[in-house]
């Protein structure tokens, strides 16, 4: 693994992660926009990508297939501040090698690129049964994903007012 492309719309996090990867001997470059990332990848295909799930309101999952079309050997690690089993499964199905919840250690990201690393969504599960709030969050995320992130369509499908759905999405999901 030589060249890493960091795609995250949080400029501070992007900059800090890029520098940390550089210090670990990897050539890292950071971008905050998906379209710019694809242009850069076409010009100089990365060996690995650290991809934020939420890029300025759009889904980072939409970049997985185009990035793999540019370089089928590229290893993509998806990061998110709002982990859910539904999006983890989707990321892995699309071709990501790992799905990690923020905050995450840089060493864990580097280890995720390891050729022996296997996709692991089991860390998102707990030994205890999920709470009703967590189950609701998972269901909302699944329906939102089915509607390509469209809030209005998701609200209609859930038979919920759009503002109510937006309030639920703004809350960080509970762990159990």
Residue 99 belongs to some domain of the structure: yes
Same domain, 98 and 162: no
Residue 175 belongs to some domain of the structure: no
Can you give the pLDDT at residue 158? Answer: 87
- Please state, in angstroms and rounded to a whole number, the distance separating the CA atoms of residues 131 and 14: 33
Residue 25 belongs to some domain of the structure: yes
Element (H, E) at 93: helix 85-94
Q: 137 lies in which domain range?
A: 132-170
Residue 176 belongs to some domain of the structure: no
Can you give the pLDDT at residue 81? Answer: 79
Same domain, 99 and 120: yes
Can you give the pLDDT at residue 131? Answer: 63
| Token reading at 43 | 């010009």
Can you give the pLDDT at residue 173? Answer: 60
Can you give the pLDDT at residue 152? Answer: 92
CATH number of residue 111's parent domain: 3.40.50.2300
pLDDT digit string (tens) for the chain, length 176 residues: 589 999 998 888 889 999 999 998 889 999 998 889 999 999 999 999 999 988 877 888 889 999 999 999 899 999 887 777 778 888 888 888 888 887 788 888 888 887 444 444 444 444 445 566 766 777 787 788 788 889 999 899 989 999 988 888 887 665 54
| Token reading at 4 | 């890493």
Tokens 């939102």 correspond to 144
169 in helix, strand or coil?
helix
Rounded to whole angstroms, the maximal C-alpha distance in the chain is 51
Q: Quick one: 87 exposed, middle or buried, by C-beta within 10 A (0-12, 13-18, 19+)?
A: buried
Same domain, 117 and 137: no
Query: On the CB side of 46, how many CA atoms lie within 13 Å of its CA?
Result: 28
- Please state, in angstroms and rounded to a whole number, the distance separating the CA atoms of residues 131 and 110: 32
Domain count, the chain: 2
Return the percent helix, strand and coil in the chain, to nearest 5: 50, 15, 35
Same domain, 82 and 115: yes
Same domain, 54 and 139: no
Residue 90 belongs to some domain of the structure: yes
């Amino acid at each position: 693994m030589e060249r890493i492309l960091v795609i995250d719309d949080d400029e501070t996090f992007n900059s800090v992660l890029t520098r940390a990867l550089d210090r670990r001997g990897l050539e890292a470059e950071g971008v905050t926009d998906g379209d710019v990332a694809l242009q850069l990848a076409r010009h100089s295909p990365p060996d690995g990508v650290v991809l934020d799930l939420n890029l300025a309101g759009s889904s980072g999952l939409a970049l997985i297939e185009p990035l793999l079309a540019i370089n089928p050997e590229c290893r993509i690690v998806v990061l998110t501040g709002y982990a859910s089993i539904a999006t983890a499964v989707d990321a892995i199905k699309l071709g990501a090698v790992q799905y990690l919840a923020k905050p995450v250690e840089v060493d864990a990201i580097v280890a995720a690129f390891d050729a022996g690393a296997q996709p692991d969504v089991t860390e998102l599960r707990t030994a205890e049964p999920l709470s009703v709030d967590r189950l609701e969050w998972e269901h909302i995320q699944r329906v939102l994903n089915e509607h390509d992130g469209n809030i209005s369509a998701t609200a209609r499908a859930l038979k919920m007012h759009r503002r109510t759905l937006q309030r639920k999405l703004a809350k960080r999901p509970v762990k159990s």
